[in-house]
Amino acid sequence: MMNSFLKDEIDSLSPENKTGASRRGFIQGSIAAGFAAAVAPTGDLLAQVITTDSQGLTAGFVEIPGKDRSIPAYRAMPSGKTKLGCVIVVHEIFGVHEYIQDVCRRFAKLGYMAVAPNFFVRQGDVTQYKTVPEIFSNVVSKASDAQVLADVDAALTWAAANGADSAKVGITGFCWGGRIVWMASAANPKLKAGVAWYGRLMTQVNAANPNHPHDIADKLNWPVLGLYGGKDDGIGLDTVEEMKTRLSFGGKASQASEFVIYPEAPHAFHADYRPSYRKEAADDGFKRAVAWFKKHGVA
């Protein structure tokens, strides 16, 4: 039986989620192969895809020194600026493709440095797999929390040496990356705030991922804003309510964390390249994310 995480991902790529829509006709390079099992490529979604230019920005791939190897990352920032607020962007299971790069440019246009490391560089190239389950089993499931959180720390060090203000750093992530935001809050006190977009709160526990976000809810070092869809079949609202309860028993940062639920939104409602995209919820969520970062000193 397909687990709920994979079902959520495949459902969000399916045209049935939105009348007359299918996935966008372009995804950087051969990443399209990773979506092929879910949706046939057409251009129907092009009208909703947000494209942010790089005018006035320094944008492109960089290499971040990690504990055991160099980590490729997409970086966007205002050209010629220093001491910038910084946002670490944690990708979905599909890696640092065009959508994630565009999110970085959106933050850069607002005056931030945004850095999106490839957290799967050790596990393999997601573009080489033809189905979502293959991506999950061969790449995603092998990325341990310990490795990913160490890479977050490496990204912070690199950012501080390359134009960011180390006292003004936040993190945001989508789906798989949303869960990482919660885990990072308990593991890394160097950041100021996080925004988790539909990150799972109850996950499979194993050697690579030994804890749920529920398990660390009372141990947060900085507040997290959770943005979730009321019609996300893979993340029950009961798990959100349980998270709220557990946060209430924690310290100041845990108690300062908040949730916003968009009643009509499905999983991946911010992903403008998927049929699951819901513009109203996505726009409101991004505005709230920016306000959250400003409120907590990431600006």
Place of tokens 């990773």: 34
Catalytic pick among 11, 151, 175, 270: 175
Return d(Cα 246, Cα 250) in angstroms, integer.
7
Return d(Cα 146, Cα 130) in angstroms, integer.
28
Return d(Cα 12, Cα 6) in angstroms, integer.
10
Q: Is 146 helix (H, G, I), strand (E, B) or coil?
A: helix
Catalytic pick among 8, 11, 232, 272: 232
- Is 175 an active-site residue? yes
- Is 232 an active-site residue? yes
Catalytic pick among 212, 267, 270, 296: 267
From the CA atom positions of the chain, what is the Rg in Å? Answer: 18
Nearest to 164 by CA among 113, 215, 119: 113
* Residue-by-residue DSSP string for 188-215: -TT--EEEEES--SS----SSS---HHH
Return d(Cα 172, Cα 168) in angstroms, integer.
14
Length of the chain counted residue by residue: 299
Return d(Cα 85, Cα 297) in angstroms, integer.
8
Annotated catalytic sites, by residue?
A: 175, 232, 267
